[in-house]
């Protein structure tokens, strides 16, 4: 860090480089290999020499180096700054700024500083960029400090706060200075004050600072030494198992190591004497007890170290104290940090619960969106449409195709949504007219026929678009996330899906409950014969209902494609889930679908939370739960009563 | 006069062709066992085309042992049991001399018993989890020590990562690789509680919670890095969620072992710039041989096609096989296998690949940063690393070694100095 | 009783006769007799097809006769395969391990043997512990019992819960599909104890027959599959032809009416569901040693749907229809997807069957359900009627 300070000093003073017979190029030539292929640990040498030179051109060089603009020309071995200019490449001399054009790019070797090196360069640049007029550079500098959290950066950072013009950045700098203060302030009191100021800040960085202060080492000793800042005395049996405890004693060389089974085996094998070991026949060594016996014989003869029996182990453990010791010697500081951290962690836990709730809500709305079309065709009309998933896929591919022709992402989504609806509406109506119409009284056969359509559509999609996943890029205003605090955040795309789900819920409720079409749909569903005699054309109604359900699947497809992926198999991923959503919620009722989607979404997140390392297990248990749930509530959560419930 | 000469040359040429044809009544047959339909088709079809291109080139260069090479292409349709059935067909009905095939480990393990029963020969071109050595398979892809371990070293050394999130799809390659890495990291002094492991199903799309968990790992002030063995489509949702959470490669670098040029061509890579991948080959590698290969590939398949690591593995494997057959003077499996040991062939990335007695290659390991155009910027290249069939970082495997040339055993216990088994463990 | 049953059902005799001739012909033309007209791999394909026919018959009984469209019978088939696969893997590995440990200076302890076997089998999924479900894997007899018991018990419990709650029709279909999906997802987990996505492999090597060639083993399994199919056919033909058959068909046509007549509908349904699940398990146990590998992908819900489709194409409600459907569609599928069918050049576009076969298959389901609800078997009926 010293080199940074001196570099800062030199460059700030801007001493006219009269004494410098040395140019930047000379330094780079001395470290040719390091400049060409720098490594994080070894790049320091180059940075040090650049410091010692005090050259003003070192600063732009470092920036260019970090941005991978530095090349080596094969013919003279010198380094230049390169910029592409159409087909040609212009090279700039690093010392003189002289510019010339190079056409043959085969003669150029690019320098490729990796992520770690770029970070090291960034650290070296921090000093100059903190007060740079360009706000982007100031931000980069602040980010670099936040990543490294080094003591040497504290003073320049504090120095730059007063001059900061941007209020947001000023706040970030102040906060960062507080964090550095908690770690590196000169006096214990100053650190405690800084630590107390951090209390209530949920960010990962702050928790990182406090955890660094609270870092502990596991220790073992006969008695706890005086003056040690002990975090916790461990109780053998509850905090750590006797085996672990003894292993720690062995590591600390406070007890003899245990003799393992493989060591016993090795000792026996090396000491085979004819067909005996230590007087025991080899044939009887096929049990652990037999081997132990033979080994004890060997140990008795002094050929092998004796085994440590269990009482000896227990005695050794009892004779020592196991404890965690803070790396920070001052108890006042660790106490303050502990208090601050406990406070933060409570809030973090609450926030995490809220965040999990948001994730569950978002998952529920995705399930809802995928299932709502099905709720209409299956729930209201009683038609099993196994090709529902493929309608979702068609919608997603519609979005993909539109993006091929309309490069503006916002516009393309605006076009894709109604277009997807139109296409899948058409597909749904066609399917209803050609196939489903003939099978209204044979629901199981509808299942088979639509399954046939499903695999045909899936394979068609593969033939047309290939098996590879296709990108469906969301518009820029949907990038990023809505951040409530450092724990609770939800991406805009998920919010959009949630809003879309809400819109469709309202729309469908409105159509079914408040419009002529809805009335006719409900009439046809309940009694087609009676409805027909009242002048309703059931054929037309069925066709429109089916088209509506399919069209919504298409729109769901665009939404799902935006947040995940577009593949020919994406429909199959959602079909079983969607059916379960509808069945669990209660068939024939839009509210039921909403309840079903919420139940499944929240349940899945809940199980994932219990077992975070295995998403697959969560899905398995969820399905088992659903199977059981249906056994006990076969009509679903929102069961229809009375006549409407009749099959 | 000139006419006469050329006529003479033509007769001579015809004569040799006729002689070649007379020498071999049957052409030399090369079986291609890659899925052309089903979920793996997208990856494996490319490899079928690669083998066909290699055969075309070899035939143009005069064939092999004076004979034409003929490809026998079958389609196991991404259906694992079919790999066994088709392998048997290739070896008994079509009577091929060698097979180039398989992608997933399960498909390889399905074909293995048949290959060993009928003494066939297969070249397997994909990076895999190791812990296997068959007498009848040459593994031209990377073993864990040729991809996962160097990438982890890069994280430790170059990026200073102190806390690891191992995210993978729930199947054998990520599971075994992560087991090895967990053990390796602990040996490197990373405590067990600083290693977070998560498995998701194939095609997983709901990444919000997992990404949030990974970001929260940084709460103790340590630099976090992600080692991703996430496979296929699931990567799209994963990278999208990372971008949505505002996580850049500088804050949270991700190194992937299953994301190559072919996979990136289905993605908008602007969100991924700076994230890493580790392979033995990148299309952006600078060598004359690579330029020629890319040109030949694009001439055959179209300008927009990319090359990738398993293709290079077939490139090396096929050429080594051709040289071994030439050296042995026959396509007999046992003779060719003997001739394979110590075969050398130039890598497309520079340097030379050597076939080791454990049926793995010595190849350099490359680490690349993803660029905005779907290619990789190579930021690290090691010298040749010899592939290790049995990892040194798991206690049960550390004592095993494979040496078909000297010991004649693929699973040799160095402690007891016995051969555990001659067939492989499938 | 037996006599009258066969006399009443001449089709059973016909079927057995055709199957017997087929079996003999295939055996004679196989590589075992030295004729070699039928390759070992094709014998395996035919043997597997016979097992598929057996599970198709089971499906036909539960759906075509009893009206329960189960989308879970291929899961029972898979469970049977896993059960036998566990023994095959264990016994083969045990042989290898004991042989390799025998050469060591001191005899191994039983813990060492079991660790080594565990490491060999589960090393691939990064574990070496034996899960509890492998408790009986060392015993062929117990494991064969599992082939029957596990699918049977699962079907019994699931069926009891579902029929008791009067879950019927499409709801039951979806519920069985959910069961299949849960099972497949469970098996996909590496921690399931059944080697996750990799499944159990090397099943074609039968322990104790290491020196027998696959040509012989394939014919043995082929004949065993034919015998199982014959037995299954007779068993189900007997069930559906008697009084029980009438009740079952009654349940299919009008469940409520049968219940009012005083029959305990749930018991009949439960019996049919469980019996067919057991037969499916047996079929699976014969199938997977011929396929050589079983993994969770085999159990995916789509496989059970295909099963229903075979039966539908073959013709529901007639056992030979199920056999025809399964044999016809599965063999045709493997011919088309295996690249056996020639491409059709339309001039402007080349139809590659590997790409277009599934489209054709899908559309033919639609056609069959719409226009030939009786399937291929229905054509036989037409022929018979014309002759008489």
Residues of B in contact with C198 (CB under 8 A): 105-106, 109, 171-172
Counted domains in chain A: 4
Is A445 within 8 Å of C362 when comparing Cβ atoms? Answer: no
* pLDDT score of B38: 74
Last residue of a domain, one of A62, A92, A121: A121
Q: CB-CB: which of C109, C309, C363 is closest to A286? A: C109
- State how far the alpha carbon of B327 is from the alpha carbons of A623, B330, C270, in Å: 59, 8, 68
Q: CB-CB: which of A287, A447, A616 is closest to C109? A: A287
Chain C contact present for B233, CB below 8 A: no
* pLDDT score of B208: 84
* pLDDT score of B22: 44
Q: What is the least distance, in Å, from the CA of B110 to any CA of chain A?
A: 23
A498 and A601 in a common domain:
yes
Residue A332 within a domain: no
- This complex has an ipTM of 0.86
Residue B153 within a domain: yes
What residue of A is the nearest CA neighbor of B220?
A: A208
What residue of B is the nearest CA neighbor of A488?
A: B212
Q: Write the pLDDT tens digit of every residue in A419-431.
A: 999 999 999 999 9
Residues of B in contact with A612 (CB under 8 A): 198, 209, 213
A522 and A508 in a common domain:
yes
- State how far the alpha carbon of C164 is from the alpha carbons of A638, B198, C168, in Å: 21, 40, 10
User: What is the C-alpha R_g of chain B?
Assistant: 23
Q: Write the pLDDT tens digit of every residue in A511-550.
A: 888 999 888 888 887 787 888 888 888 888 889 989 999 9
What residue of A is the nearest CA neighbor of C175?
A: A627
If DSSP codes are grouped into helix, strand and coil, which group holds residue C246? helix
Q: CB-CB: which of B198, B212, B237 is closest to A564? A: B237
* pLDDT score of C228: 97
Last residue of a domain, one of A121, A152, A173: A121
What residue of B is the nearest CA neighbor of A491?
A: B244
* pLDDT score of A3: 53
Above 70 in pLDDT, residue C18? yes
Count Cβ neighbours within 10 Å for each residue of A508-527 and write b for 16 or more, e otherwise.
beebbeeeeebebbbbbbee
User: Domain residues for C170?
Assistant: 2-387
pTM for the model: 0.86
The two tokens of residue C96 are 């290898």
Give, for all 426 residues of chain B, the pLDDT tens digit.
444 444 444 444 444 444 444 457 678 999 999 988 777 877 888 999 999 999 999 999 988 998 999 999 888 888 888 899 899 989 988 899 999 999 988 899 999 999 999 999 999 999 998 888 999 999 999 999 999 999 999 999 888 899 999 998 888 888 889 989 999 999 999 998 899 988 888 778 888 888 988 988 888 878 899 999 998 778 888 888 888 888 888 889 999 998 888 888 767 788 788 899 999 999 999 889 999 999 999 999 888 889 999 999 999 999 999 999 999 999 999 999 999 999 999 999 988 999 999 999 999 999 999 998 889 999 888 889 999 999 898 888 888 899 999 888 888 888 878 888 887 777
Strand pairing report for C200-201 and C350-351? unpaired
What residue of A is the nearest CA neighbor of B41?
A: A467
If DSSP codes are grouped into helix, strand and coil, which group holds residue B196? strand
Residue A236 within a domain: yes
Q: Write the pLDDT tens digit of every residue in A140-178.
A: 888 888 888 888 888 888 888 888 888 999 988 998 998
Q: Write the pLDDT tens digit of every residue in C218-236.
A: 999 999 999 999 999 999 9
Contacting B residues, span 301-340, partner chain C, CB-CB under 8 Å: none
Is C358 within 8 Å of A458 when comparing Cβ atoms? Answer: yes
Contacting C residues, span 9-48, partner chain B, CB-CB under 8 Å: 39-41, 44-45
Q: Is A404 exposed, middle or buried (0-12, 13-18, 19+ CB in 10 A)?
A: exposed
pLDDT average, residue stretch C365-385:
82
Residues of A in contact with C302 (CB under 8 A): 572
User: Is residue B137 within 8 Å of B128, Cβ to Cβ?
Assistant: no
Residue A369 within a domain: yes
Chain C contact present for B235, CB below 8 A: no
* pLDDT score of B21: 44
Above 70 in pLDDT, residue C363? yes
Residues of A in contact with B246 (CB under 8 A): 480-481
Last residue of a domain, one of B256, B274, B306: B256
pLDDT average, residue stretch C259-279:
94
Is A627 within 8 Å of C175 when comparing Cβ atoms? Answer: yes
* pLDDT score of B122: 96
Above 70 in pLDDT, residue A471? yes
A221 and A202 in a common domain:
no
What residue of C is the nearest CA neighbor of A270?
A: C105
C201, C221, C289, C298: which to substitute to probe chain B, counting the most B Cβ within 10 Å? Answer: C201
User: Is residue A639 within 8 Å of A585, Cβ to Cβ?
Assistant: no
**Can you give the CATH number for the domain in which B327 is found?**
3.40.50.2300
User: Is residue B177 within 8 Å of B393, Cβ to Cβ?
Assistant: no
Residue A261 within a domain: yes
Strand pairing report for B224-229 and B163-169? parallel
* pLDDT score of A644: 46
Q: Write the pLDDT tens digit of every residue in A229-267.
A: 888 888 888 888 888 899 889 988 888 888 888 888 888
User: Domain residues for A616?
Assistant: 348-645
Residues of C in contact with B106 (CB under 8 A): 197-199, 201, 293, 295
**pLDDT confidence of A642, banded at 50, 70, 90?**
very low
Counted domains in chain B: 2
A371 and A298 in a common domain:
no
Nearest-angstrom CA–CA distance, A457 and C369? 17
Chain C contact present for A613, CB below 8 A: no
Q: What is the least distance, in Å, from the CA of C375 to any CA of chain B?
A: 27
Which of the 8 DSSP states describes residue A532?
Answer: H
pLDDT average, residue stretch C354-377:
85
The two tokens of residue A146 are 């936040």
* pLDDT score of A19: 45
Residue A335 within a domain: no
Contacting B residues, span 20-49, partner chain C, CB-CB under 8 Å: 36-37
Q: Write the pLDDT tens digit of every residue in C109-153.
A: 888 888 888 888 887 776 777 888 888 888 999 999 999 999 999
Is B117 within 8 Å of C214 when comparing Cβ atoms? Answer: yes
* pLDDT score of B18: 40
The two tokens of residue A397 are 């591919």
B98 and B46 in a common domain:
yes
Q: Write the pLDDT tens digit of every residue in A541-555.
A: 889 989 999 999 999
C206 Ramachandran zone, left/alpha/beta (phi>0; psi -120 to 50): beta
* pLDDT score of A16: 44
B154 and B110 in a common domain:
no
Is C358 within 8 Å of A623 when comparing Cβ atoms? Answer: no
A246 and A209 in a common domain:
no
pLDDT average, residue stretch A392-414:
92
Is B81 within 8 Å of C293 when comparing Cβ atoms? Answer: yes
User: Is residue C362 within 8 Å of A463, Cβ to Cβ?
Assistant: no
User: Domain residues for B193?
Assistant: 148-256
Contacting B residues, span 68-97, partner chain C, CB-CB under 8 Å: 73-75, 77, 79-81, 84-86, 88-89, 92-93
A225 and A201 in a common domain:
no
What residue of B is the nearest CA neighbor of A344?
A: B219
**Subunits close to B (at least 3 CB pairs below 8 A):** A, C
A99 and A143 in a common domain:
no
* pLDDT score of A382: 77
Count Cβ neighbours within 10 Å for each residue of A318-346 and write b for 16 or more, e otherwise.
eebebbebbebeeeebbebbbebbeebee
User: What is the C-alpha R_g of chain C?
Assistant: 22
Is A147 within 8 Å of B265 when comparing Cβ atoms? Answer: no
Q: What is the least distance, in Å, from the CA of A639 to any CA of chain C?
A: 14
B203 and B162 in a common domain:
yes
* Selected residue with higher pLDDT from B39 and A288: A288
Looking at every residue in chain A, the average pLDDT score rounds to 84
Is C363 within 8 Å of A452 when comparing Cβ atoms? Answer: yes
Place of tokens 């209530």: A200
Nearest-angstrom CA–CA distance, C229 and C308? 18
Q: What is the least distance, in Å, from the CA of B193 to any CA of chain A?
A: 13
Residues of A in contact with C69 (CB under 8 A): 444, 447
Q: CB-CB: which of C171, C182, C364 is closest to A583? A: C171
Between the CA atoms of A20, A24, A25 and A29, what dihedral angle is there, to the nearest 10 degrees?
100
* pLDDT score of B10: 41
B44, B88, B232: which to substitute to probe chain C, counting the most C Cβ within 10 Å? Answer: B88
A231 and A190 in a common domain:
no
Is B86 within 8 Å of C338 when comparing Cβ atoms? Answer: yes
Residues of A in contact with C176 (CB under 8 A): none
Residue A432 within a domain: yes
The two tokens of residue B336 are 């060719």
A639 and A529 in a common domain:
yes
Q: What is the least distance, in Å, from the CA of B129 to any CA of chain C?
A: 9
The two tokens of residue B227 are 């080692």
User: Is residue C118 within 8 Å of C131, Cβ to Cβ?
Assistant: no
Is A564 within 8 Å of B274 when comparing Cβ atoms? Answer: no
Nearest-angstrom CA–CA distance, A357 and A351? 10
The CB-based long-range contact list for B295-302 (8 Å cut-off, 24+ gap) reads B296/B53, B296/B57, B297/B50, B297/B53, B300/B49, B300/B53, B300/B56, B301/B49
* pLDDT score of A103: 65
Last residue of a domain, one of B360, B381, B404: B360
Q: What is the least distance, in Å, from the CA of A467 to any CA of chain B?
A: 6
Residues of C in contact with A275 (CB under 8 A): none
Last residue of a domain, one of A86, A121, A156: A121
Residues of B in contact with C202 (CB under 8 A): 109, 112-113, 426
Looking at every residue in chain C, the average pLDDT score rounds to 88
How far out from the chain centre does Cα C175 lie? Answer: 20
User: What are the residues facing A82 on neighbouring strands?
Assistant: A91
User: What is the C-alpha R_g of chain A?
Assistant: 36
pLDDT average, residue stretch A38-47:
84
pLDDT average, residue stretch C31-55:
91
Residue B98 within a domain: yes
* pLDDT score of A456: 92
* pLDDT score of C174: 84
Chain C contact present for A103, CB below 8 A: no
**Subunits close to A (at least 3 CB pairs below 8 A):** B, C
Q: What is the least distance, in Å, from the CA of C388 to any CA of chain B?
A: 45
Is C188 within 8 Å of B81 when comparing Cβ atoms? Answer: no
Residues of C in contact with A640 (CB under 8 A): none
Last residue of a domain, one of B256, B277, B301: B256
Q: What is the least distance, in Å, from the CA of A466 to any CA of chain B?
A: 7
Counted domains in chain C: 1
How far out from the chain centre does Cα A206 lie? Answer: 20
Q: What is the least distance, in Å, from the CA of A379 to any CA of chain C?
A: 11
């Amino acid at each position: 860090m010293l080199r940074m300070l001196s570099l800062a000093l030199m460059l700030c003073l801007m001493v006219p480089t009269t004494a410098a017979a040395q140019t930047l190029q000379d330094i780079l030539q001395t470290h040719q290999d390091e400049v060409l292929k720098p490594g994080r640990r070894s790049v320091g040498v180059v940075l040090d020499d650049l410091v010692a030179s005090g050259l003003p051109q070192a600063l732009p060089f470092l920036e260019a180096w970090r941005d991978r603009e530095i090349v080596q020309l094969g013919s003279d071995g010198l380094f230049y700054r390169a910029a592409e200019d159409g087909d040609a490449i212009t090279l700039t001399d690093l010392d003189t700024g002289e510019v010339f054009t190079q056409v043959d790019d085969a003669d150029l070797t690019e320098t490729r500083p990796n992520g770690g090196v770029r970070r090291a360069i960034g650290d070296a640049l921090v000093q100059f960029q903190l007060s740079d007029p360009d706000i982007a550079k100031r931000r980069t500098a602040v980010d670099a400090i936040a990543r490294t959290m080094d003591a040497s950066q504290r003073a320049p950072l504090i120095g730059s706060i007063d001059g900061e013009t941007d209020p947001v950045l000023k706040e970030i700098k102040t906060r960062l200075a507080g964090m550095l203060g908690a770690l590196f302030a000169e006096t214990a009191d100053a650190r405690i004050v800084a630590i107390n100021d951090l209390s209530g800040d949920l960010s990962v960085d702050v928790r990182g600072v406090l955890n660094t202060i609270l870092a502990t080492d596991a220790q073992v000793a006969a008695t706890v030494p005086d003056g040690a800042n002990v975090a916790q005395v461990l109780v053998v049996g509850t905090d750590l198992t006797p085996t672990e405890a003894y292993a720690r004693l062995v590591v600390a060389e406070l007890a003899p190591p245990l003799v393992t089974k493989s060591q016993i085996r090795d000792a026996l094998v090396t000491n085979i004497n004819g067909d005996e070991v230590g007087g025991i026949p080899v044939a009887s060594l096929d049990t652990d007890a037999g081997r132990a016996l033979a080994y004890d014989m060997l140990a008795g003869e002094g050929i092998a170290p004796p085994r440590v029996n269990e009482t000896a182990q227990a005695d050794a453990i009892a004779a020592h104290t196991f404890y965690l010791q803070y790396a920070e010697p001052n108890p006042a500081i660790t106490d303050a940090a502990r208090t601050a951290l406990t406070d933060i962690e409570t809030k973090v836990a609450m926030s995490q619960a809220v965040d999990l709730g948001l994730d569950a809500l978002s998952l529920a709305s995705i399930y809802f969106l995928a299932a709502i079309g099905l709720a209409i065709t299956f729930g209201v009309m009683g038609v099993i449409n196994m090709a529902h998933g493929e309608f979702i896929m068609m919608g997603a591919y519609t979005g993909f195709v539109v993006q091929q022709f309309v490069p503006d992402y916002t516009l393309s989504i605006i076009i894709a949504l109604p277009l997807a609806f139109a296409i899948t509406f058409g597909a749904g109506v066609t399917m209803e007219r050609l196939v489903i119409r003939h099978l209204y009284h044979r629901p199981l056969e509808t299942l088979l026929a639509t399954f046939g359509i499903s695999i045909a559509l899936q394979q068609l999609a593969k033939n047309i678009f290939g098996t590879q996943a296709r990108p469906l890029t969301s518009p820029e205003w949907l990038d990023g996330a809505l951040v409530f605090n450092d724990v609770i955040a939800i991406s805009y795309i998920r919010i959009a899906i949630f809003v879309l789900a809400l819109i469709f819920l309202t729309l469908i409720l409105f159509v079914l409950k408040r419009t002529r079409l809805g009335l006719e749909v409900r009439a046809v569903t309940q009694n087609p014969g009676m409805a027909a005699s009242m002048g309703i054309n059931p054929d037309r109604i069925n066709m429109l209902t089916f088209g509506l359900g399919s069209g919504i699947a298409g729109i769901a497809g665009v939404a799902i494609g935006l947040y995940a992926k577009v593949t020919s198999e994406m429909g199959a991923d959602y079909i079983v889930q969607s059916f379960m959503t509808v069945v669990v919620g209660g068939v024939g009722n839009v509210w039921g679908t909403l309840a079903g989607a919420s139940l499944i979404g929240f349940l899945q997140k809940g199980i994932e939370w219990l077992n975070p390392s295995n998403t697959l297990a969560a899905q398995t248990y969820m399905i088992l739960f659903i199977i059981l749930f249906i056994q006990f509530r076969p009509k679903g959560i929102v069961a229809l009563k009375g006549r409407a419930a009749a099959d | 006069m000139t006419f006469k000469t050329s006529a003479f040359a033509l007769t001579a040429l015809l004569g040799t062709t006729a002689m070649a044809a007379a020498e071999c009544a049957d052409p030399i047959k090369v079986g291609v066992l890659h899925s052309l339909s089903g979920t793996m088709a997208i990856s494996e079809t490319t490899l079928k085309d690669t083998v066909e291109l290699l055969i075309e080139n070899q035939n143009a260069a005069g064939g092999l042992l004076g004979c034409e090479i003929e490809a026998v292409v079958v389609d196991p349709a991404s259906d694992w049991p079919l790999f066994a059935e088709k392998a048997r067909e290739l070896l008994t009905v079509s009577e091929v001399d060698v097979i180039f095939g398989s992608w997933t480990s399960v498909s390889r393990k399905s074909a293995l018993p048949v290959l060993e029963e009928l003494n066939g020969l297969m070249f397997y071109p994909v990076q895999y989890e190791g812990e296997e050595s068959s007498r009848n398979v040459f593994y031209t892809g990377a073993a864990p020590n040729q991809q996962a371990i160097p990438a982890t070293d890069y994280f430790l050394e170059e990026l200073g990562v102190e806390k690891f999130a191992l995210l993978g799809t729930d199947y054998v390659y990520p599971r075994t690789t992560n087991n090895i890495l967990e053990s390796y990291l602990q040996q490197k002094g990373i405590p067990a509680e600083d290693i977070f492991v998560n498995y998701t199903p194939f095609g997983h799309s709901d990444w919000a919670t997992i990404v949030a968990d990974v970001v929260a790992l940084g709460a103790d002030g340590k630099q976090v890095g992600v080692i991703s063995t996430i496979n296929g489509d699931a990567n799209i949702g994963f990278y999208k969620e990372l971008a949505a959470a505002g996580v850049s490669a500088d804050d949270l670098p991700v190194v992937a072992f299953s994301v190559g040029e072919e996979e990136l061509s289905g993605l908008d890579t602007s969100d991924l710039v700076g994230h890493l991948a580790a392979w033995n080959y990148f299309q952006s590698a600078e060598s004359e041989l690579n330029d020629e290969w890319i040109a030949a590939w694009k001439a055959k398949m179209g300008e927009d096609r990319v090359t990738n690591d398993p293709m290079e593995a077939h490139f090396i494997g096929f050429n080594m096989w051709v040289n071994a057959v030439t050296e042995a003077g026959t396509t007999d499996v046992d003779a060719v296998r003997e001739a394979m040991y110590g075969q050398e062939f130039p890598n497309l990335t520079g340097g030379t690949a050597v076939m080791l007695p454990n049926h793995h290659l010595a190849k350099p390991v490359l680490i690349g940063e993803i660029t905005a155009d779907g290619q990789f910027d190579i930021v690290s290249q090691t010298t040749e690393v010899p592939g290790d069939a049995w990892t040194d970082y798991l206690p049960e495997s550390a004592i095993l070694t494979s040496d078909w040339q000297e010991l004649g055993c693929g699973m040799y216990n160095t402690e007891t100095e016995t051969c555990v088994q001659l067939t492989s463990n499938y | 009783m037996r006599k009258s049953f066969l006399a009443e059902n001449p089709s059973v005799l016909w079927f057995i006769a055709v199957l017997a001739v087929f079996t003999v012909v295939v055996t004679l033309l196989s590589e075992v007799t030295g004729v070699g007209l039928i390759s070992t791999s094709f014998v395996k394909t035919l043997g597997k097809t016979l097992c598929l026919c057996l599970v198709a018959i089971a499906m036909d009984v539960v759906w075509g006769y009893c009206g329960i469209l189960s989308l879970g019978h291929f899961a029972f088939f898979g469970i049977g395969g896993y059960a036998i696969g566990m023994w095959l893997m264990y016994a083969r590995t045990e042989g290898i391990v004991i042989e390799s440990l025998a050469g060591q200076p001191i005899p191994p302890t039983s813990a060492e043997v079991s660790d080594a076997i565990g490491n060999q089998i589960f090393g691939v999924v990064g574990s070496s512990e034996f899960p509890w479900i492998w408790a009986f894997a060392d015993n062929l007899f117990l494991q064969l019992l599992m082939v029957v018991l596990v699918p049977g018990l699962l079907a019994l419990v699931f069926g009891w819960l579902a029929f008791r709650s009067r879950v019927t029709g499409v709801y039951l279909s979806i519920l069985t599909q959910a069961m299949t999906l849960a099972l497949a997802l469970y098996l996909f987990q590496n921690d399931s104890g059944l080697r996750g996505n990799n499944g159990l492999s090397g099943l074609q090597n039968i322990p104790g027959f290491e020196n027998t060639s696959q040509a012989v083993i394939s014919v043995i399994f082929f004949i065993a599959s034919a015998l199982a199919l014959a037995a299954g056919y007779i068993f189900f033909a007997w069930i559906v032809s008697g009084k029980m058959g009438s009740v079952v068909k009654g349940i299919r046509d009008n469940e409520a009416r049968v219940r009012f007549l005083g029959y305990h509908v749930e018991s009949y349904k439960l019996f049919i569901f469980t019996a067919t699940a057991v037969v499916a398990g047996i079929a699976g146990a014969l199938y997977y040693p011929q396929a050589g590998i079983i993994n969770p992908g085999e159990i995916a819900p789509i496989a059970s749907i295909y099963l229903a489709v075979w039966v539908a194409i073959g013709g529901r409600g007639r056992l030979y229809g199920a056999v025809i459907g399964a044999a016809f569609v599965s063999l045709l599928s493997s011919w088309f997807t295996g690249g056996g069918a020639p491409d059709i050049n339309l001039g402007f576009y080349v139809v590659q069957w590997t790409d277009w076969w599934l489209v054709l298959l899908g559309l033919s389901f639609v056609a069959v359900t719409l226009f030939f609800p009786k399937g291929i078997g229905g054509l036989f009926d037409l022929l018979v009627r014309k002759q008489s």
